[in-house]
């Protein structure tokens, strides 16, 4: 009988083991990647148009997973157990490795996707010295009296966040009353840290109310709307940090308010996690916002306390860095631990810079972040679909491979007027010949330092049209474009081996350029127009008649080619350069086209109507090169305006004289037809010429 019982026990044990083996195991969720910010305003890195992204790549844990060991406790003992577990280092998740070879980031334009190139990445906590790598913390402190005795503890947590601010962090302190927002500090950078601390300490006591219901959810939502909408539109301040977070310090008390419940909190959390402040907010750039929810038990009936706790727990969104914990009376020492836990999680985020050649013609873009060949099977993020980025596509530079383009120009001995030039890069215009345009920058042209100066950029565009410094596209595909170069020698800068040309490439459809600033203009080696026939005729002794005939033939041919070129090339209506040149304001039927000729021992120079001609000794700054040692690098500027020739001395060393009279530097002086203008020892005779009428 005993043997039978032992056998029975063994049989039951075997069945139990088999049963446990057959039980379904809890599936471990794959780690998720979340894009928290796509910011295009870093503009160019190493010559490539670049965007900066903030990526959270963490195997996140839910609060219920972290606190499952506290389930058997109750009351304050349970709350203290929860806070110990929630505030433990690394409790909320493990950062995943960011393997560059596995990252695939792309932008979708119409029906095509274009991959971006990963240029650089680093952990957020290791990048705090980079501009804008910081967090904008919205601190919402609840001053409702039903928060119990822990109001000072909530203030201590807010104080700790402010005191821990980094170089690029911002903070906004908001106090909530029972039914209204009672104070708002506005956004403050690190320099305003003292102001933020004073604003926290200014609220000395809680606000009492006898209302049974309280619209806490609406107050929190309004705080988020006001603060984060203002974050991107602050005049006169530096751009805001790349990352943002909302810290809610509250008892969660809403009484009988139908919105201040667990489901209501989940709905708000969903919108903020998705980068939307509410369902109707589709105009602002997408900014997912982690919510740090710090709960203090309210002084209320048990059912209201349970509702409040559920509300505060459901606000937190740990999948993107959100956090939840509990603080009670006389637990101000927890404040440092709470802030350390939050900042440690943020420090593990990734700041990744991608070179992105293509953008959509509108302000909305669609992006995808995917991971390949990962044993962890990380889930990507394609939630940035048709979202605005808050930038003008026309300000996104073309992706020119400047180094390779320069090398190719060098190998062919330099580009030359009337020849061709091939520009290499990554382009999004396919085989459309109507989109690429090139503009050559003549010597002495002053370019704006910053493309944000739109008026200066437009002035440059108009002057280039007036000088006919455009070239037309001959061949084009996604990796190169070949242009016909204008015949004018005015595109050449410098002498001999130092000959160069400067140019800007334009996508006329998207109004994108390779750059219109001194720092971004492409400079290539150049050579003069070859004239092989001239020395042959001279050596053959053809005489003056042959030379005269050849000169007339060349002159007629040049005029025909010029007319053909100017009539055959019509810029696209979408081009940023397709604007009339400011030559004259009189009607076409009455317009007389003048030019000024300056002639002397140094050569013959032309001043066109509506343009400036700079003269001096520095070949990189002027078009009229005067090599005498008494001439300054930039000596004077000539201008033909409304059929009047003027000259301005540019504070030269030896001065500028008109018919022997020294003119005042920096002021325009009229130069009459036939007058002599002396720049140091170089004398130029001015002559006004009529070159034709337009009907």
What does the pLDDT read at residue 548? 45
Find the range with the poorest average confidence among 72-76, 203-207, 240-244, 485-489: 485-489
Highest mean pLDDT among 387-396, 486-495, 511-520, 545-554: 486-495
Find the range with the poorest average confidence among 101-105, 392-396, 534-538, 598-602: 534-538
What does the pLDDT read at residue 298? 93
Find the range with the poorest average confidence among 64-68, 383-387, 586-590, 662-666: 586-590
Residue 167: pLDDT band with limits 50, 70, 90 = very high
Q: Could you tell me if 207 and 145 are in contact, meaning their C-beta atoms sit under 8 angstroms apart?
A: yes
CB atoms within 10 A of CB 110: 7
Is residue 139's pLDDT more than 50?
A: yes
Q: Could you tell me if 257 and 217 are in contact, meaning their C-beta atoms sit under 8 angstroms apart?
A: yes
Relative to beta strand 668-671, strand 644-649 is antiparallel
pLDDT in tens, 88-118: 999 998 999 999 989 999 998 877 888 999 9
* SS3 labels along 103-130: EEEEEEECCEEEECEEEEEEEHHHCCCC
What is the rounded CA–CA span in Å between residue 657 and residue 649? Answer: 9
What does the pLDDT read at residue 488? 78
Phi, psi angle pair for 330, to nearest 5°:
65, 30
Q: Could you tell me if 350 and 34 are in contact, meaning their C-beta atoms sit under 8 angstroms apart?
A: no
More reliable by pLDDT, 17 or 303: 303
Residue 490: pLDDT band with limits 50, 70, 90 = confident
pLDDT in tens, 561-579: 333 333 333 333 333 333 3
Cα angle 557, 559, 562 (rounded to 5 degrees) comes to 110
Phi, psi angle pair for 158, to nearest 5°:
-60, -45
State how far Cα 311 lies from the chain centre.
Answer: 37
What does the pLDDT read at residue 77? 94
Is residue 683's pLDDT more than 90?
A: yes
Find the range with the poorest average confidence among 198-212, 292-306, 310-324, 487-501: 487-501
pLDDT in tens, 587-606: 333 445 578 889 988 878 88
Set out the domains of the chain in order of their start, with CATH numbers. 32-388 (3.40.50.410), 399-533 (2.60.40), 588-693 (2.60.200.20)
Residue 283: pLDDT band with limits 50, 70, 90 = low
Is residue 414's pLDDT more than 60?
A: yes
Is residue 442's pLDDT more than 60?
A: yes
What is the rounded CA–CA span in Å between residue 485 and residue 523? Answer: 14
Average pLDDT of the residues of the chain: 81
| Helix, strand, coil percentages, rounded to 5, for the chain | 30, 30, 40
Which tokens belong to 534? 């001239």
State how far Cα 574 lies from the chain centre.
Answer: 23
Of 47, 52, 104, 114, which Cα lies nearest the Cα of 398? 47
Q: Could you tell me if 81 and 73 are in contact, meaning their C-beta atoms sit under 8 angstroms apart?
A: yes
Residue 585: pLDDT band with limits 50, 70, 90 = very low
Is residue 15's pLDDT more than 60?
A: no
H-helix segments, 114-235? 151-163, 193-202, 216-231
Find the range with the poorest average confidence among 167-171, 552-556, 682-686: 552-556
What is the rounded CA–CA span in Å between residue 567 and residue 561? Answer: 10
What does the pLDDT read at residue 612? 83
What does the pLDDT read at residue 513? 80
Q: Could you tell me if 85 and 64 are in contact, meaning their C-beta atoms sit under 8 angstroms apart?
A: no
560's enclosing H/E stretch is: helix 543-568
Is residue 253's pLDDT more than 90?
A: yes
Residue 184: pLDDT band with limits 50, 70, 90 = very high
What does the pLDDT read at residue 534? 46
Of 685, 668, 688, 663, which Cα lies nearest the Cα of 676? 685
**For the chain, what percent of residues have pLDDT higher than 90?**
47
Instruction: Give the residue carrying structure tokens 């369902």.
Output: 279
DSSP character at residue 667: S
């Amino acid at each position: 009988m005993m043997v039978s019982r032992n056998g029975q026990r063994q049989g039951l044990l075997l069945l139990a083991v088999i049963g446990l083996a057959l039980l379904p195991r809890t599936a471990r969720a794959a780690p998720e990647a979340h894009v928290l910010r796509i910011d295009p305003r870093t503009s160019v890195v190493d010559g490539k148009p670049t965007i900066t992204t903030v990526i959270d790549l963490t195997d996140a844990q839910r609060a219920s997973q972290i606190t499952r060991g506290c389930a058997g406790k109750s009351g304050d003992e349970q709350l203290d157990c929860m806070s110990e577990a929630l505030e433990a280092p690394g409790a909320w998740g493990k950062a995943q490795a960011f393997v560059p070879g596995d990252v695939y980031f792309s932008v979708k334009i119409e029906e095509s996707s274009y991959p971006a190139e990963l240029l650089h990445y680093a952990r957020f906590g290791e990048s705090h010295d980079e501009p804008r790598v910081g967090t904008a913390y919205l601190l919402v402190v609840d001053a409702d009296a039903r928060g119990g005795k822990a109001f000072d503890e909530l203030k201590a947590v807010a104080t700790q966040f402010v005191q821990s601010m980094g170089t690029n962090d911002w903070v906004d302190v908001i106090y909530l009353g029972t039914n209204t927002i009672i104070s708002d500090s506005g956004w403050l950078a690190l320099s305003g840290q003292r102001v933020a601390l004073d604003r926290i300490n200014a609220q000395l006591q809680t606000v009492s109310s006898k209302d049974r219901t309280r619209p806490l959810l609406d107050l929190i939502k309004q705080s988020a709307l006001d603060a984060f909408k203002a974050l991107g539109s602050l005049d006169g301040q530096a751009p805001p940090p790349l990352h943002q977070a909302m810290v809610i310090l509250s008892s969660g008390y809403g009484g009988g308010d139908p919105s201040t419940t667990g489901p209501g909190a989940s709905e708000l959390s969903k919108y903020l996690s998705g980068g939307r402040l509410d369902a109707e907010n589709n105009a602002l750039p997408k900014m997912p916002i982690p919510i740090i929810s710090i709960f203090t038990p309210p002084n209320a009936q048990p059912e209201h306390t349970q509702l409040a706790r559920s509300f505060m727990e459901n606000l937190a969104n740990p999948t993107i860095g959100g956090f939840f914990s509990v603080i009670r009376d006389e637990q101000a020492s927890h404040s440092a631990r709470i802030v350390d836990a939050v900042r440690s999680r943020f420090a593990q985020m990734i700041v990744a810079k991608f070179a992105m050649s293509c953008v959509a013609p509108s302000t909305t873009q669609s992006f995808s972040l995917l991971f390949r060949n990962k044993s962890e099977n990380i889930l990507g993020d394609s939630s940035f679909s048709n979202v605005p980025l808050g930038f003008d596509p026309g300000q996104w530079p073309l992706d020119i491979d400047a180094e390779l383009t320069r090398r190719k120009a060098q190998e062919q001995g330099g580009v030359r007027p009337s020849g061709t030039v091939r520009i290499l890069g990554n382009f999004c215009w396919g085989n459309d010949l109507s989109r690429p345009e090139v503009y050559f920058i003549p010597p002495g042209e002053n370019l704006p330092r910053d493309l944000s100066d739109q008026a200066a950029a437009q002035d440059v565009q108009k002057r280039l049209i007036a000088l006919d410094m455009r070239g037309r596209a001959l061949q084009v595909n996604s990796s190169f474009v070949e242009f016909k170069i204008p015949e004018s020698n005015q595109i050449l800068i410098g002498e001999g081996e130092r000959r160069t040309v400067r140019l800007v490439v334009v996508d006329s459809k998207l109004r994108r350029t390779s750059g219109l600033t001194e720092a971004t203009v492409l400079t290539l080696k150049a050579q003069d127009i070859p004239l092989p026939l001239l020395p042959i005729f001279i050596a053959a002794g053809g005489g003056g008649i042959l030379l005269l005939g050849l000169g007339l033939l060349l002159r007629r041919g040049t005029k025909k080619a010029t007319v053909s070129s100017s009539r055959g090339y019509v810029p696209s209506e979408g081009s940023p350069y397709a604007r009339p040149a400011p030559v004259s304001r009189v009607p076409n039927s009455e317009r007389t086209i003048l030019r000024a000729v300056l002639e002397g021992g140094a050569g013959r120079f032309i001043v066109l109507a509506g343009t400036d001609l700079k003269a001096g000794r520095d070949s990189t700054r002027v078009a009229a090169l005067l090599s005498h040692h008494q001439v300054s690098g930039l000596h004077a500027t000539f201008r033909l305006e409304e059929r009047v020739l003027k000259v301005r001395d540019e504070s030269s060393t030896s001065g500028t004289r008109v018919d022997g009279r020294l003119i005042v530097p920096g002021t325009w002086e009229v130069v009459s037809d036939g007058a002599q203008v002396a720049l140091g020892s170089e004398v130029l005779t001015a002559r006004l010429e009529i070159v034709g009428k337009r009907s």
